Amino acid sequence: MNTLRTLALALAVTVAAAPALAQQQRVYQWKDAKGVTHYTDVPPAQAHQTRDLDVKDGKPAEAAAKKPESEQCTNARANLVRLEGGGPIGIDTNGDGKPDRNMSDDERKPQIELNQAAVKAFCTPAAR
């Protein structure tokens, strides 16, 4: 019976504390005169700028702020997949929009290198 009372009390305390735990906490970041970065939940005494980071999906803030890749990056990646896949790649030699022949292995190698360079130039380092 005493155990049941203890469990009921623990449950009541947990339910009562849940709204407080769910509230967003504010964290302050500031640098002192020596350039040392400090983090605290108390606002710094000196004047400071604020910004809200409202991430509700449970992911870290840097993941929420991640920008989509550029079109050049997306195209270079797609080209690399096709070039490295080894399947036939048609080439339009007369400009009519239809492939006239398939790319040779000798033609494929420089195209792979070109698209690898494009990935380095247009894609973010974390996405590589």
Question: So where are the chain's domains?
Answer: 71-84+95-127
Q: What is the pLDDT of residue 57?
A: 67
Give exposure, 25-45, as e/b (b: 16+ Cβ within 10 Å): eeeeeeeeeeeeeeeeeeeee
Q: Low-confidence residues of the chain, pLDDT below 50?
A: 127-128
Q: What is the pLDDT of residue 2?
A: 61
Torsion from C-alpha of 13, 19, 21, 25, nearest 10 degrees: -150
Q: What is the pLDDT of residue 128?
A: 44
Instruction: Record the pTM.
Output: 0.46
